[in-house]
Amino acid sequence: MFNDLIKNLRIFEKKRLDKEYYLELLSHDAYEYYSLPEEFKNDEDIIITAITREPYVLNYISHEIKDNAKYIEIAVNKNYRSLMYASKRLQNDEDIINKTLIAMGCEKEHHRDYYYALGCMAESILDNEKFVSLALAKRKDMFLPPKFASQRITNLVEHVNDPVEFLKAYSHKTIIEKSLSQIPLNSIPTKRKKL
């Protein structure tokens, strides 16, 4: 029994030393994340170190990690473009979008960097109604229709007086339609005719 305890303590100490080694390794090269043993890949300190060093590591990390708001927030604060590697759920999360827009410089006095940042976003993000409406709402001085948005969204708001409100409403409608489309037809109650 005592020998088992000593053996377990040695294993624990070896893992602690291994973790310290891997943290040091990742602080120099985040892409070493791929070569880590599986037992370390879900460790919070390991993930944060890798993402802080290089946010694009998210591209190769598990879906569970891409769906964790804490990790995505760290990544977008380091590099706003890493939003494209977040899960679809977090790409539509208003808090994450707002943090991304702040990281992009929407609150800076000079909007040139903000326009550049918007132009560098992935097409999937620029085709997201919620992202575009929040980006427009952050800067009232932006050209309308939004030059940075996807062609689909530009076409949607081309003849609308208030694109921000329109896109918010459209986004909400799209979410409801997608939710309804996932309900099997045979589970929807129908009215029965009285005899």
Over residues 29-54, the pLDDT tens digits come to 998 998 888 888 999 999 999 999 99
Alpha carbon of 164 to those of 89, 116, 133, 145, 146: distances in Å?
A: 21, 20, 5, 10, 10
Asked if 57 and 118 sit in the same domain, the reply is: no
- Count of structural domains within the chain: 2
* CA atoms within 13 A of residue 22's CA, in its CB half-sphere: 26
Do the Cβ atoms of 57 and 33 come closer than 8 Å?
yes
Residue type, 31: Y
Among residues 55, 86, 117, the one where a domain terminates is: 86
Could you tell me which residues come within 8 angstroms of residue 18 by beta carbon, excluding any fewer than 6 positions away?
Answer: 37, 40
Cα–chain center distance at 88: 7
Asked if 65 and 116 sit in the same domain, the reply is: no
Does the predicted model carry a pTM greater than 0.85? no
Return the pLDDT at 188: 46
Return the pLDDT at 108: 63
Return the pLDDT at 127: 83
The 10 Å Cβ neighbour count of residue 91 is 21
pLDDT at residue 20 is higher than 80: yes
Please, what is the average pLDDT of the chain? 76
At residue 70, the 3 state secondary structure works out as helix
Over residues 143-185, the pLDDT tens digits come to 555 667 788 877 777 777 777 777 777 766 654 454 445 545 4
Asked if 71 and 109 sit in the same domain, the reply is: no
pLDDT at residue 189 is higher than 70: no
Return the pLDDT at 94: 83
